[in-house]
Amino acid sequence: MLTLAILIPLLAAAVLAVAPLGATTARWTATGAAALSLLALVVVWIGGGEGFRAVSEVPWVPELGIAWRVGVDGMSLALALMSALLFVVATAWPIELQQARAYYAWMAFLAGVSIGLFVTLDLIVFYVFFDLSLVGMYFLIGRWGHGEAQHAALKFFVYTLAGSLLILIGIIVLALNMPELTFDMRALIDTPPLAAAGVVPGLVFLAFVIGFGIKTPIFPFHTWLPPAHVDAPGPASALLAGVLLKMGAYGLIRIPLQMMPETFARWALPLAIVGVISILWGAIVAFAQENLKRRIAYTSVNHMGYTVLGIAVAGSALGSEAARQLALTGAVVEMIAHGLITGALFLIAGAVWQRSQDYHLPNFGGLAGPAPRLTGAATLAAFASLGLPGLAGFVAELHIFLGAFGVYPWIAAIGLLGILITAALFLRLLRQMFFGDLPKERAGFTDLTRIEVALLAALLALVVLIGLWPAWLLSLIDARALIAVPGGGG
């Protein structure tokens, strides 16, 4: 099933690349492929199990220990499910564009490699999917973006490719230090290959933190993110924030946290400090932005800072195991919540662009009158992003800070300031966009269509469900299986 979840969208991309299909047919072909991938993942979820499940393995380069290995645990299955849902929504989202068939071919390609990254159990295949995701997003931004899209796409590609090369170096060092050469994630988690002491483990850890930190992104490796978001089409922005950023955070958990637990514990405090800096920097800079998309983009730095803080706490050797598990649960829930919430926010921003060709917040106001459905969706997403109780963001942040106060209380206290600033920036955004007098140039502004409402409802309904009844997601993630040994062991 997991192999099908990868191959179906890749086959759809191949068909779209060569078949002379119209725009509507191409759109629904890509959407159908993403929906079938989602269905395959749901079947795996229904099948249940503990640890890695739905595992299959086919040798690829046996002499190097490389194989087509797929399998999921609760964390990777949750992220794959969220990603597949976002691809269904993003490909179905109505958008006016040229060369539609090529656009949807790249969307389907990106769906296949993104889902593949979360379900592979081989580090080399993981790296291949990691790099291929850059290619898909590069073309989506560069060919179908607006403004300085080509420059933004190039900056995104160069930054993240440089990070991926550091990741490759780290992967090679880990594999070479195994008793028998292998890139099997399960073997590397069960038998961490590097001791905590020495220069080499520290350098490998730094390579992973920088490589995955660029993709996450964390301060100060985040500068590629705002231009990429501002100039990308709305659905591509939703996927960049909702799926691609999660690859960095997922990599931090799966590789250095689980495969280098002792080294991670040594450097957990500096990583936690970086997470808090990202929280505050992202919120403060977002508050200052007058561009709608740029403001939302900087909130991603803020929210992924929460995720990094949770991961750092989980990998610490301090505090109780229960506190570390709470923090890691919160980090994974934050990834899911951020994907759904910020994906919705960027789709809303894309809808605003299609109706006005403008993101400058002072040029808006009073949209609650002509666009009540847009106002309602944006308000719900904004309140979820600022962590309102009863919504998914609150569940994630509650777990992260409960765990963080049990391990790094002063860092957690400072991080709480980010929630206050985030609340202020979103309330200000809502006031600027939807209240006050409607400018004359916005007199013809139209509300969301039925299909746009339905697609946003699919994301925001899950945001509410997780906020009101998170037990099903928490049991799926099962952080105990990720850090069962004190000090962050897997």
Structure tokens at 68: 């087509």
Is 488 a domain residue? Answer: no
The residue behind tokens 């049990």 is: 406
Per-residue confidence (pLDDT) for residue 308, from 0 to 100: 96
- How many Å apart are CA 242 and CA 223, to the nearest integer? 18
8-state DSSP, 179: S
Is 34 a domain residue? Answer: yes
Per-residue confidence (pLDDT) for residue 490, from 0 to 100: 34
Element housing 310 (H / E): helix 292-315
Per-residue confidence (pLDDT) for residue 189, from 0 to 100: 92
Is 132 a domain residue? Answer: yes
Per-residue confidence (pLDDT) for residue 220, from 0 to 100: 87
Per-residue confidence (pLDDT) for residue 140, from 0 to 100: 93
Is 233 a domain residue? Answer: yes
Per-residue confidence (pLDDT) for residue 139, from 0 to 100: 93
Q: What is the number of domains present in the chain?
A: 1
Per-residue confidence (pLDDT) for residue 365, from 0 to 100: 86
Per-residue confidence (pLDDT) for residue 10, from 0 to 100: 97
Per-residue confidence (pLDDT) for residue 485, from 0 to 100: 44
Per-residue confidence (pLDDT) for residue 443, from 0 to 100: 82
- How many Å apart are CA 159 and CA 480, to the nearest integer? 34
For 436, other C-beta atoms within 10 Å of its C-beta total 13
Is 306 a domain residue? Answer: yes
Nearest to 19 by CA among 104, 137, 146, 94: 104
The answer to whether residues 253 and 184 touch, using CB atoms and an 8 Å cutoff, is no
Is 490 a domain residue? Answer: no
Tens digit of pLDDT at every position of the chain (490 positions) = 899 999 999 999 999 999 888 899 999 999 999 999 999 999 999 988 888 999 999 999 888 889 999 999 999 999 999 999 999 999 999 988 888 899 999 999 999 999 999 999 999 999 999 999 999 999 999 999 888 888 888 998 998 999 999 999 999 999 999 888 899 999 999 988 887 667 889 999 999 999 999 988 888 888 888 888 888 899 999 999 999 999 999 999 999 999 999 999 999 999 999 999 999 999 999 999 999 999 999 999 999 999 999 999 999 988 888 999 999 999 999 999 999 999 999 999 999 998 888 889 999 988 998 999 999 999 999 999 999 999 999 999 999 999 999 999 999 999 999 999 999 999 999 999 999 888 888 888 899 999 999 999 999 999 999 999 999 999 998 877 777 443 333 3
Residue 204 gets the label, from left (phi > 0), alpha (psi -120 to 50) or beta, of: alpha
Number of alpha carbons in the 13 Å side-chain half-sphere of residue 209: 23
pTM for the full predicted model: 0.93
Q: Provide the residue range defining the domain that includes 331.
A: 2-481
Is 487 a domain residue? Answer: no
Per-residue confidence (pLDDT) for residue 83, from 0 to 100: 96
Per-residue confidence (pLDDT) for residue 229, from 0 to 100: 84
Give residue 381's identity as a one-letter amino acid code: A
Distances (CA, A) of 480 to 51, 254, 320, 394, 459: 10, 14, 13, 21, 27
Is 489 a domain residue? Answer: no
